[in-house]
Structure 1
């Protein structure tokens, strides 16, 4: 089986000591590619370097909402230029985070809208963060009908999920779906059309139920795959093939078809 981790922060410094070994484990697990989103402008060069050094890593560049204090308005101009020069697979990680109450919501929305405009102009998909902010995220995405993307680590309602799918968005699911108490999330994975689902780890964050408190890594996407397949009562090979194809199609990845 071939798998793609559609959301991995593999450039994170927690991998500096064993990035090569972690990549070897991922490849042994069938992970042939990872989409690696950025969080702030300062780290774009590092992300580019890590992805260039390891085949199968595909960068996305953007300004993450939880890094709001790091951002400057000039970063938006820099982002547009950087994307034109680098031609990443997506604009991201961008979006809204209302879980952290001290983050200015108006400023978040301004950065989000600006980056959606950049994605539209560059004809690139977006990698969207929407923590406790799915409704506002949906309303802003509606303003850009030609933009497509993925709402990663989706945790909204089924109604919200289907409205996003109707906009042309995929939804990413990772470690949280492996927790037995995540009843709404697990029900959602059972009911959504498979062609709208992407698998992810969000490494080094969001480890699955078997690895609570540990650093997450891309090889563990197999645990997400098995749980999604079990919940849907489908063959893991079928879920792997479908989610692989979904990810290749969304990000126009240059990886071999199965």
Structure 2
């Protein structure tokens, strides 16, 4: 896990800073980003990043301190930022300032107004434009300043950054995400009166989510009242995982990947052929597909729930078995991934048979084209090997289906409906799925599934896994 925002250089840590850093290591944190917010804080952050290999720094002037901003201070921020390496792999000890990974904490704060608002806006703009010039992400503080924050961000053209310790509404979240910004959730999401923030933390797409402590502030439950520290990020992460109905491991993987992508730190994950989400193990056996669905995640990212699914090769059956290990460790083994698994029918049958022999359960997620692909009814061949199957219906009629799913076959919609009907004869648990795309009539889709006697599961657009 990565704590993407804390202030380790601040005075509350003077008595035991090394112990705090040690506890973060012991808690399993892969990295910490300590955030500069005034001149001395930036200096301290950079010094900590020099000293510890897993600590990175940012430099910037907080809106509270905008009144103290000067060209001399700005020149030093530029020197710190200019002396970084673009890629973590080439950072070196000789380049002592190379671990500055962002400009921030910058922004607007109209709650306290410690600096005049016109000065806040001017300093915010200067730092934004500099970050854009040097291609660094920005870390944004915005409190009770939604309108001006959005206006300045949209006019700046900056497309890399994070809204730190998000406290805005869903409209603000959607607008900054449309600019390319991440949303970072801190300890207040665990507080009893944080209903709106919890709804936002639940709704943010995986690709835009980060976690932070903002330590020494905003200690999460159940430790509220104590001084916060990076090791406590796990409490916020666990709370968010419960909100999103996924595991703490899923949140760890998702937010760590996002932090690496935004700040350019650490090693990116390699492609996976077996990947765990919640308590199921998914098998990624092909990236080929007979549909080009407009909503398919693979057209804009290589990742699902932090797992890289863009395969370099199609795995052999023995590779798949080795990747599974003991299938009884999981609720089910799911043939899914970035393509249509039934394109590899023989591999599915062989591995499914092996899973069943070992005492595991098998599910297939399919677009329903299996019989079209192989020019025969393949469902009898899956009888006894597959416990459940999820089939993508995705529309209420052929016209809508062709527009959304762009199938390789003519008459694909009617064949999918027939595949769902036929599946009931051979597989114990059959579910049809629909994604909430434009033009899809969920009620009419339910009429179809009711007539076929199968369950309907509605998937929210852009929510994968």
TM-score exceeds 0.5: yes
CA distance in 2, matches of 1:70, 1:146: 24
Q: Which segment is superposed worse, 93-102 or 176-185?
A: 93-102
CA distance in 2, matches of 1:108, 1:101: 9
TM superposition shift of 1:243: 0.5
Q: Which segment is superposed worse, 154-163 or 94-103?
A: 94-103
Q: Of 23, 29, 33, which residue of structure 2 is paired with 1:35? A: 33
Q: Which residue of 2 aligns with 1:101?
A: 113
CA distance in 2, matches of 1:203, 1:109: 25
In our comparison, the structure showing a higher alpha carbon Rg is 2
Q: Which residue of 1 aligns with 2:239?
A: 227
Q: Which residue of 2 aligns with 1:22?
A: 20
- Summarize deviations over 1:186-231 as a string: whole Å, max 9, x none: 0111111121110000010111122223210001000001100001
Could you state the TM-score of these two structures normalised by the residue count of structure 2? 0.53
Report SS of the residue matched to 1:90: strand
1:4 equivalent to 2:18? Answer: no
In 2 relative to 1, CA 102–84 (structure 1 residues): closer, same or farther, beyond 3 Å?
A: closer
Any gaps of 5 or more consecutive residues in structure 2?
A: 84-96, 271-465
The two structures, once aligned, show a CA RMSD in angstroms of 1.6
Any gaps of 5 or more consecutive residues in structure 1?
A: none
Q: Which residue of 1 aligns with 2:128?
A: 116
TM superposition shift of 1:31: 1.0
- Summarize deviations over 1:47-68 as a string: whole Å, max 9, x none: 2212211221100000111123
CA distance in 1, matches of 2:266, 2:250: 21
Residues matched between the structures, number: 256
Could you state the TM-score of these two structures normalised by the residue count of structure 1? 0.94
1:145 equivalent to 2:143? Answer: no
Report SS of the residue matched to 1:35: strand
Q: Is the 8 A contact 1:37 1:93 kept in 2?
A: yes
CA distance in 1, matches of 2:267, 2:9: 20
Q: Is the 8 A contact 1:198 1:246 kept in 2?
A: yes
Report SS of the residue matched to 2:30: strand
CA distance in 2, matches of 1:115, 1:41: 14
Larger RCO (alpha carbons 8 Å, 6+ apart): 1
Q: Which segment is superposed worse, 42-51 or 133-142?
A: 42-51
TM superposition shift of 1:26: 1.2
- Summarize deviations over 1:4-36 as a string: whole Å, max 9, x none: 000010111211221221112112222111111
